[in-house]
Amino acid sequence: MIKKQQVSVTMNRKDATAEDIKEAQEMIAELNASRQSAEQNRETKIAEFKLKKVINTAMDELKNYRDEDMKREFYMLQIKRSVMISFESLRTIEFELEMLKHQAGLTPEQKAANDLRSKPPAPGSLPPL
C-alpha cells in the first residue's frame, strides 16, 4: 500500500529526476512480482487445504485399523499431516518476521499514525446495536 502511494507520487511529480523515476519503476516491478507470488500462494494454499481434507478423511476411515498395512498407512498419513502443519507454521512465522522488520523500519511519525488508526473507538461513540 505504501509503495503504491510512493510510486504514484514519484511518477506524478514534475521535478522527478531520472533516478527517482527508475526507482519508481523498480517498485512497480517488485509490486507485480509480489502480486504473482500472492496468486501462487493462494493456489498453493487451496491445494494444501484439499490435500489436508483428503488426508483427514482417509485417517478417519483408517482410525479403526485391523491389520498392519492399515496401521502403517494410518501413521504415514499422520506424519504427512504433521509435516503440512509444520510448513504452514513456518510460512506464518516468515510472514510475521516480515511484518516485524517493516515495523522496525518505521519512523516515529509513522508509528504514531499507526497507533492512532489502531486505537479502539471511545465507549459510547458507536451507536447501539
Residue linked to cell 489502531? 118
- Three-point CA angle 79, 37, 41, nearest 5°: 30
Whole-angstrom distance between the N-terminal and C-terminal Cα of the chain? 32
Helix (H) or strand (E) holding 19: helix 18-62
Q: How many angstroms separate the CA atoms of 41 and 27, rounded?
A: 21
pLDDT at residue number 59: 93
Provide the residue-wise pLDDT of the chain in tens; the chain has 129 residues: 445 555 555 555 666 677 777 777 777 777 777 666 778 888 888 999 999 999 999 999 998 889 999 999 999 999 999 999 999 999 899 889 989 998 888 899 988 888 888 888 788 777 877
Measured in residues, the chain has a length of 129
pTM, rounded to two decimals: 0.57
